[in-house]
């Protein structure tokens, strides 16, 4: 019975390890999901700032596509936020600019963070933003209004079956504790916020 007991203990230990491993697997799914989405573009996230090169501005342009602009205000955000134009006909490879209008109608300084999303997901891999108000937090004084530019181009590798894509921004409030001052050298996409473990609680 002792040999059996040892065998049982070994099996029970292995099974506990399997259970623990699966618990860790659940958490591992979070970065795995991020990587999967980055590679496939399936969840419509755009990733970070693209540096513009001289070649970019003089690139031979390709086919025409339509890009539509959508703006949402997140819960608890006292701003008006809308695109200045609903859509733009652009050519792939051609650098274009659009502006988003924002106005803080609260009676105090408010900081916001815009989170972009591209539909269809497959198009998100081809939309490159050279300059975007979503790279940094935006601050507006009470009553202040602003037009915020986005400088972008649609890469020629956009799948042939996509003729229209949408670029949508949702503006979320940033709690005072997480406001980044201009001295900080933090720049990047919302995924960087996650990596730096900055805490954003939905209000």
Provide the binding-site residues for another protein, judged by CB under 8 A.
4, 7-8, 11-12, 15-16, 18-27, 29-30, 33, 37, 40, 42-43, 74, 113, 115, 121-122, 170, 172, 190-194, 198-202
- SS3 category, 52: coil
- CB-wise, 27 or 176, nearer to another protein? 27
Q: Answer yes or no: are the C-beta atoms of 41 and 121 closer than 8 Å.
A: yes
Supply the minimum distance, in Å, between the C-beta of residue 136 and another protein: 15
Supply the minimum distance, in Å, between the C-beta of residue 146 and another protein: 20
Supply the minimum distance, in Å, between the C-beta of residue 51 and another protein: 22
- SS3 category, 176: helix
- CB-wise, 145 or 198, nearer to another protein? 198
49 DSSP β-pair partners: 129
167 DSSP β-pair partners: 69, 118
Strands laid side by side in the 127-132 sheet? 79-83, 96-104, 145-154, 127-132
Q: How many Cα atoms within 13 Å fall on the side-chain side of residue 162?
A: 23
- CB-wise, 122 or 151, nearer to another protein? 122
Supply the minimum distance, in Å, between the C-beta of residue 91 and another protein: 26
- CB-wise, 59 or 166, nearer to another protein? 166
Structure tokens at 202: 């939905």
Supply the minimum distance, in Å, between the C-beta of residue 175 and another protein: 10
My answer on whether omega of the bond before 15 falls inside 30° of 0, hence cis, is no
- CB-wise, 18 or 61, nearer to another protein? 18
What gap in Å lies between CA 118 and CA 43, rounded to an integer? 8
């Amino acid at each position: 019975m002792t040999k059996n007991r040892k065998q049982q203990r070994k099996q029970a230990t292995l099974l506990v390890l399997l259970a623990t491993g699966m618990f860790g697997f659940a958490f591992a799914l979070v970065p795995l999901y991020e990587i999967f989405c980055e590679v496939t573009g399936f969840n419509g996230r755009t990733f970070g700032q693209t540096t513009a090169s001289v070649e970019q501005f003089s690139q031979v342009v390709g086919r025409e596509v339509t890009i539509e602009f959508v703006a949402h205000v997140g819960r608890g955000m006292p701003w008006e936020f809308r695109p200045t134009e609903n859509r733009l006909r652009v050519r792939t490879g051609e650098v274009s600019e659009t502006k988003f209008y924002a106005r803080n109608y609260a009676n105090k300084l408010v900081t916001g963070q815009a989170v972009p999303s591209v539909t269809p997901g497959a198009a998100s891999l081809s939309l490159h933003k050279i300059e975007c108000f979503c790279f940094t937090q935006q601050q507006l004084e009470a009553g202040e209004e602003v037009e915020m530019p986005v400088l972008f181009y649609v890469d020629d590798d956009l799948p042939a079956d996509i003729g229209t894509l949408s670029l949508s921004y949702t503006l979320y409030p940033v709690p005072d504790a997480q406001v980044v001052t201009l001295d900080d050298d933090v720049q990047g996409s919302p995924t960087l916020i996650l990596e730096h473990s900055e805490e954003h609680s939905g209000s």
